[in-house]
Amino acid sequence: MKEVADLVSKRATLAGTGLDFDGGPIDADVVIVLGGDGTLISAARSMGDNQLPLIGVNFGKLGFLTPFSLKELIEHFDEVVATDAPTTKRTMLHAKVERAQDNSEFESLCFNDCVIQAGPPFRMISLAVELDGRRLTQLDGDGLIVCTPTGSTAHNMSAGGPIVLAEVDGMVMTPLNPHSLTHRPIVINADGKIAVELTQANAGTTAIIDGQVQCPLREGDRVHIRAADLRASIVLNPQSAKWQSLVSKLHWGVTE
């Protein structure tokens, strides 16, 4: 931590002043995120419309989204904080809940996913799913995951959904334990607009944003999900190959 503080203090314009992760102005060139994947996800979502390049330094366990170790950040510091540092742009989602009971609304950006999930007493829930204003299906089961390509390696992958290259311009819909053999994950264009109405819910049914923010849902509520108008920007580790995290951290395709 002290090494990072010393480096940043030598480049004062990096930190700037008036950092505000509540949607206000952020007077900085880049944001150095010290933590795990969850910390980086929270930082990207909290910056709202003021997206800046994120330098993720892994202090957590897996570190799938945080490409730098502390040693690598120190080694490549001048390169990765430069204005022309290589970055990857990541699709984010915008989720809006329209509550039937009082006409109130809840809105949030999503870096990884928006998950509509059955809660206590954990009986099957029913979802009427629309795509681009047209009925797509009636889904009975434990819920539905709508994720970004970045989020495809999170809850989506655990639920049997596809791994999608992070730079792909699209979204994934993955049913959670559907009460049907015909419901399968699908990938749709990023300009698609998804609407989900809860036709049957439990007392604990919830919309979960990035595994971090929760919004209770009731029967009749509608959840609208689309690609956000902005993208997150993550600074790449110049030492890492494109698929390195997938192979080294998730052991994709490893045969030995």
- Is 232 exposed, middle or buried, given 0-12, 13-18 or 19+ CB atoms closer than 10 A? buried
Nearest Cα neighbor of 29 from 92, 85, 111 is: 85
Catalytic residue, chosen from 37, 113, 142, 221, is 37
CB-facing half-sphere around the CA of 87: CA atoms within 13 A: 20
Q: Are 112 and 92 in contact (CB under 8 A)?
A: no
221 is catalytic: no
CA 28 – CA 24 distance, rounded (Å): 12
CA 67 – CA 69 distance, rounded (Å): 7
Amino acid at 224: H
Residues with a catalytic annotation lie at: 37
